[in-house]
Amino acid sequence: MTSEGVSPSLFGSGGHYGQRLGSNDQFPYYALPQHGTPSNATFRGMLSSANVSVNLQNETMITPPNGSGAMTPEEIKAILDSHIVLTSNFAPFTQIMLIVAFSILIAFGALGNGLVCFVVARNSSMRTPRNIFIINLAISDLTLCLFTQPFNLLKVSMSMWSLGGFMCKFVPMFAGTNVFVSTISITAIALDRFQVIVYPTRDSMKRVGAAVALLAIWLISLLMASPLLIFNVLNPVEIAPGIVLYYVCVENPASHYEKGAYSIASMIFQYIVPILIVTVAHARICNKLKYRMINQQPTVALNSPFQKHKNEREAKRKRKTNTLLVTIAAVFVCSWMPLNVFDIMADFNHSYLKTIDKNGLVFPICHLLVLSSACTNPLLYGWLNENFRREFVSVLCSPCCKSIRKLLGCHSCCATKSDRQGTGGYKKANNGTNNHLEVENTFELRSTQVYNTKNTVI
């Protein structure tokens, strides 16, 4: 075969690490001879098995299974062409289960993120500077579900690449951009909440500032993903010199160290730095809320029923907020860590990775975990945001969604218009001496002045 050494990509571009060609561990998932002419039994097995891949470098003639005469490479290729559709990386049942799992997560992710985008397009009051990061995250996750992950499913399922050289370079670069946009958007949301809660007296982000931040997120993401345009190449898999059986899309950097350096840099800027920022920001928010609650001076007797009820309500809201912040950080860690670790191991300890993943299922499972984050983000950043939840209910209560409500058994889940207008957003509260701002189900923000706004922090 005429392919260089490759490795899998964090962004699904390099495909299966079993396709590390040009070394002694060629196609480790295929029980095929590595050199020379295969025996009759092996040749018969190659034609009858689902994994049709051969390594006949420098061979021009093969004895057919019936032993009568010699077969030219063109005749061999004609036989293998009829089986090329069977170049699957997995057994049929495993492949079906992967397709089902990917399809379910893609459908849920597209539905949730599409709903976030729809309610923003439907209601101009939702297009606020604070919501712009949530919208950007939803757009990135939507493209991840509809465009990136279907290509990843194709890549992990089939060893061949039939989409041409341009798509071989564009798909991984686009996928990489998606990854960086998602993680940077999550980081921006955490920093925005940190600024609002910990430093409430500072000026809020304006529309122009939000637009500049959004542009910066996409430019940085494109810059970080651009090396994938250079690394990825379309390599032929030949059964004999000049006779191409099929092509594989692989990462083929100028040197092994070059690719390793890029993998490390990607892990640092796409995973380690964001998780540190998110964790520190959320920890500071929790501490600020705890301090604010402890130092809040009651205006009535501590043992009065009113004060007890207020304390219980504040404690419940604080527990709910802390749980949500911890969940956001935990989902981020669990969704992205496996694929980042896998990518580093594939570059620097490929032989060990091959021994612990003989069936090749770790790579698609890692991508399923990444895809699951696109499904949970609309819940964490959309449904748990009171304004977004109110808009979701409004959409689901519209006449066009009657069949959906019937399917879900939610015949009475829709509140009246007056009920919906009386919930969500920010509530005014006056305790007699201090005016303060409550974010329903989330945080107190300012204690010196009451603000009316439709934005919620979470």
Confidence at 453, pLDDT banded by 50, 70, 90: very low
Confidence at 100, pLDDT banded by 50, 70, 90: very high
Q: What is the Cα gyration radius of the chain?
A: 28
253 has pLDDT over 50? yes
Q: If you average pLDDT over residues 261-287, what whole number do you get?
A: 91
Tell me, yes or no, whether 457 lies in a domain. Answer: no
Q: If you average pLDDT over residues 267-276, what whole number do you get?
A: 92
CATH number at residue 338: 1.20.1070.10
Tell me, yes or no, whether 357 lies in a domain. Answer: yes
Out of 26-30, 230-234, 240-244, 329-333, least confident range: 26-30
Whole-structure pTM value = 0.70
Tell me, yes or no, whether 220 lies in a domain. Answer: yes
Percent of the chain with pLDDT over 70: 61
Q: Number of structural domains, the chain?
A: 1
Q: If you average pLDDT over residues 385-401, what whole number do you get?
A: 79
Tell me, yes or no, whether 420 lies in a domain. Answer: no
Whether residue 428 contacts residue 421, with contact meaning beta carbons closer than 8 Å, is answered with: no
Tell me, yes or no, whether 439 lies in a domain. Answer: no
Tell me, yes or no, whether 24 lies in a domain. Answer: no
Which of residues 119 and 257 earns the better pLDDT score? 119
Which of residues 174 and 292 earns the better pLDDT score? 174
Buried b vs exposed e over 371-402: b needs ≥16 C-beta within 10 Å?
bbbbbbbbebbbebbbbbbbbbbbebbeeebe
Tell me, yes or no, whether 458 lies in a domain. Answer: no
79 has pLDDT over 90? no
The rounded distance, in Å, linking the Cα atoms of 422 and 406 is 26
Residue 354 domain boundaries? 92-237+246-384
pLDDT recorded at residue 401: 61
Tell me, yes or no, whether 70 lies in a domain. Answer: no
Average pLDDT score over the chain: 71
